[in-house]
Structure 1
Amino acid sequence: MTASGEQVVLVVEDSEEDREAILRALSRSHPELVLEFLHDGHRVPDRLRDDALPHPVLVLLDLNMPGTDGFRVLQELRADEDPRLRDVIVVVFTSSTTSADIDRCSEAGADSYVYKPVNFTLFRTVLQGAVEYWHTNGFVRPGAPPEVPVA
């Protein structure tokens, strides 16, 4: 969370068109969210470890990216000993509907798997619903240890 109370969502998406659609879909419905974009997966762990920047409340992760794909990012995050990586909420937002991809993400520890529709109206509705779910739940993963305030 930023000093002004804004919550950061880290969007990992290689498609410029999809990044723009995500921005359009969430900017009006969730103005309290600050969207930060990475165009590939290899920078995600370093970004989540960076204490100079506000820690994201959620990672919106595309699967099919060049280089380090979303599967690899998800596996690295969940296997890391650092709770800033291991415990961050990860919502996979992808065009893949194969049961193999869904199962693979579930086994790797994705918190949600959301299909990315081609139609913008559906795209917006689905994305807003997924973000609203986590927003309503305080951006807390089920079973995650509660944060202890630092005095």
Structure 2
Amino acid sequence: MTGDGLILVVEDSEEDTEAIQRALSRSRPLVDLEFAPRSEAVIPRLLDPAARTPDLLLLDLNMPGMDGLTLLSQLRAHTACASLTVVVFTSSTASAEEDACYAAGADSYIYKPVNFELFRTVLQGAVDFWLPREADGAVTAGPTAAPPA
């Protein structure tokens, strides 16, 4: 693993992309971030044998073209993508959408707060939970407890 891992962020909003970069730059400076502004590009990217496999996928639901829920369903249908950790990170608070995401195979569903400090705290908590740091070869965090709400 290089650094703190690779997070593939599926996000069309430039403001949210910048906020994610800012939120993680101090707490996880060694994490590599890769951004995909359109859902249609994600599966070909994940199936590319020459591309680095992400350790975590952050997925926005409200995307132009193919929405995040459709992408999530398609990801879980591919055996090569089935075990990828997918955290839905969205502004949608609709319980029906949350239920649909879990039914489609999301590992976690997290609401994007508007306030940047809360946004940063929520995002850092999710990344720390799903993307453990390695220190002296030992995992220091990970999915052994309940995922962040």
Normalising to structure 2: TM-score of the pair?
A: 0.86
Q: Is the 8 A contact 1:12 1:40 kept in 2?
A: yes
Number of corresponding residues: 138
Match of 2:48 among 47, 50, 61: 50
RMSD after superposition: 1.8
* 1:131 equivalent in alignment to 2:127: yes
Q: Which position in structure 2 is the counterpart of 1:30?
A: 28
Q: Which runs of 5+ in 1 are unaligned?
A: 143-151
Q: State the Cα distance separating 1:140 from its structure 2 match.
A: 7.4
For residues 57 and 136 of structure 1, what CA distance do their matches in structure 2 show? 10
Taking the TM superposition and a 5 Å limit, the aligned residue runs for 1:1-150 are 1-2=1-2, 5-82=3-80, 85-136=81-132
Normalising to structure 1: TM-score of the pair?
A: 0.85
For residues 20 and 74 of structure 1, what CA distance do their matches in structure 2 show? 23
For residues 89 and 131 of structure 1, what CA distance do their matches in structure 2 show? 11
For residues 35 and 94 of structure 2, what CA distance do their matches in structure 1 show? 26
- Secondary structure of the residue aligned to 1:86 is coil
CA deviations over 1:8-33 (Å, ceiling 9, x no partner): 10000000000000000011101121
Report sequence identity in percent: 59
